[in-house]
A and B are shown apart, each in its own frame.
Chain A
């Protein structure tokens, strides 16, 4: 709709002003007029116009150039078109130098003016769309969207808000599915780096050499297939934040490289000899207990201390059960739009099942469970019947007898292997069923050498 866009026509000659305004109104724009530069600046103070048509020669000590300069003081991004009947090269140069978007001579060809307006409005539409999308994106990951009334979670969010604008490294620890990346994005979006890139890397999903090239980039010919130089994630995140997920899974060599980046904010591309300097904030996350990994010499203590400048531990869902009804209702509201389902509530029986369940996959598993229930639900409310699959899971796990002498790792391997086999090797589906994220599943498949 063009009427969203307002245009101001400024000309001391009423007939000139009104005829252009009328012509633009026929084109669907909302148009205001001003008979002097002063009136125009006053109107610009009250609202921002998409386009200002300003006549160059106006009496009263304020010509078109002066009017334009004053409007730009109020709206630096204003699109101003200077119009004149007395065109000279000098005035055109002055107008453009002072920031006029265009300079047109009246009378002008209708096609010229129409193309000009369309071009400016097209850019304005794109700018507005961009702003909306940016807002949408940042809103999605702001602290106010982290749903919790748990006291520990509130403390975590307060701490995260406080440190959002610092460059200090943050280490987020928590089980799979607790929302570590959500918190990392919220830290990024709430700080000074919000307008800069946020680059997420899953360290568990890639083999050591691949991860090295992924993080630091490589030079042309660094290895077979390196046909050209490629920037790594650290370079891509320059000025912004890099989120290193599953940091506990990186190799000893990469631990050394990372330590160097954290100390000096510099590194070498794979196969390169030129030092690359970056300004990147590091937020790392892990589901393993890094302190324990340090104690077992699986993780370098100096890297751990570099990472653990600000520590955030996200509690598992079973330790903040009061959030379950809140989260469930939030997912119902969001998913009802996405799935196109008219489901607005959840019964008390449904809530009870959710509260009784143990949620090994945490919030992600809860979200998946609500989605699955909504897909099969035929009414306007989710009930205990819609969550019967959870009760079956619980009963099945209770009924299963653990073979004597089986270790925890053997049991995990067995569970993962049987789940992956049941879904025909579909990692996304298997991860959802297991209640862990895909990168964790990849890492476990690799560690246990499970065939897919």
Chain B
């Protein structure tokens, strides 16, 4: 039996972890388990005051449980890849591990009043998106699909926490073949 693992870093918001677990479990139709992970301080880049998502993915690959179908980690840290100013998350396309950052998903980050519901919804969408990449899905042209590209927070808000019929079918085909 293979499990979808949600990896909790020590600082990750517990409510966000619960929301991600529930959404990922129902959308991918696989049993979900949670695994405790160390913090990602080792990936800190002082020059940018951010955390590199590539070393985080490398760490996740090393710590991925043997019975894991996929492992999606949740961190509070603001992530980046060298060429971009930030990323909401990062995944191995067609691989086993992914990470999402909660840092830019809160209203407070944009100088707005806190809204837990919006924050938890965004976390679920990001988790679906990055996990979708690990299943080989690429960005979807349908704006409302969880797999559509989000380069800003408003793009995430335009999406729904579900896959469009075409991505859902691709996902189904992919899991049948694997």
Contact = CB atoms under 8 A, between A and B. Distances in A.
Interface of A: 2, 13, 15-16, 19-20, 22-23, 25-28, 83, 106-111, 113-114
23 contacts: A13-B82, A15-B54, A16-B83, A19-B54, A19-B82, A20-B81, A20-B83, A22-B81, A23-B87, A25-B93, A25-B138, A26-B133, A26-B138, A26-B149, A28-B139, A107-B48, A108-B83, A109-B151, A110-B84, A110-B87, A111-B151, A113-B84, A114-B149
Contacts of A114: 149, 151
Contacts of B152: 110-111
B133 A106 contact: no
A207 to B, nearest CB: 53
Interface of B: 48, 54, 80-87, 91, 93, 133, 138-139, 149, 151-152
A359 B81 CA distance: 73
Contacts of B48: 107
Contacts of A19: 54, 81-84
A110 to B, nearest CB: 4
A27 B91 CA distance: 12
Contacts of A109: 84-85, 151
Candidate in A22, A106, A110 with the most chain B CB atoms within 10 angstroms: A110
A237 B86 CA distance: 55
Candidate in A22, A106, A108 with the most chain B CB atoms within 10 angstroms: A22
B41 to A, nearest CB: 19
Nearest to B85: A107
Given A26-B91, A107-B82, A110-B152, 17 more contacts: A13-B82, A15-B82, A16-B82, A19-B84, A25-B93, A26-B133, A27-B138, A27-B149, A106-B82, A106-B83, A107-B48, A107-B83, A108-B83, A109-B84, A110-B151, A111-B151, A113-B84
A106 B133 CA distance: 24
Interface of B is mostly: loop
Contacts of B84: 19, 23, 107-110, 113
Contact of A26 (B80, B82, B86, B93): B93
Contacts, number: 59
A19 B81 CA distance: 6
A22 B82 CA distance: 12
B87 to A, nearest CB: 7
Contacts of A106: 82-83
Candidate in B87, B91, B138 with the most chain A CB atoms within 10 angstroms: B138
B116 to A, nearest CB: 26
Interface of A is mostly: helix
A412 B149 CA distance: 69
A27 B86 contact: no
A22 B81 CA distance: 10
A83 B84 CA distance: 12
B167 to A, nearest CB: 12
Contacts of A26: 91, 93, 133, 138-139, 149
Contacts of A25: 93, 138
A20 B84 CA distance: 8
B66 to A, nearest CB: 25
A28 B138 contact: yes
Contacts of B85: 107-110
Lowest 9 CB-CB distances: which A-B pairs, in order? A111-B151, A28-B138, A19-B81, A110-B151, A20-B83, A107-B85, A16-B82, A27-B139, A114-B151
Given A19-B81, A27-B149, A110 B138 contact: no
Contacts of A83: 83
Contacts of B86: 110
A25 B54 CA distance: 15
A313 to B, nearest CB: 56
A164 B26 CA distance: 68
A113 B80 CA distance: 15
Nearest to A13: B82
Contacts of B151: 109-111, 114
A34 B144 CA distance: 35
A61 B80 CA distance: 31
Contacts of A27: 138-139, 149
A2 B140 CA distance: 10
A134 B138 CA distance: 32
B72 to A, nearest CB: 15
A321 B103 CA distance: 80
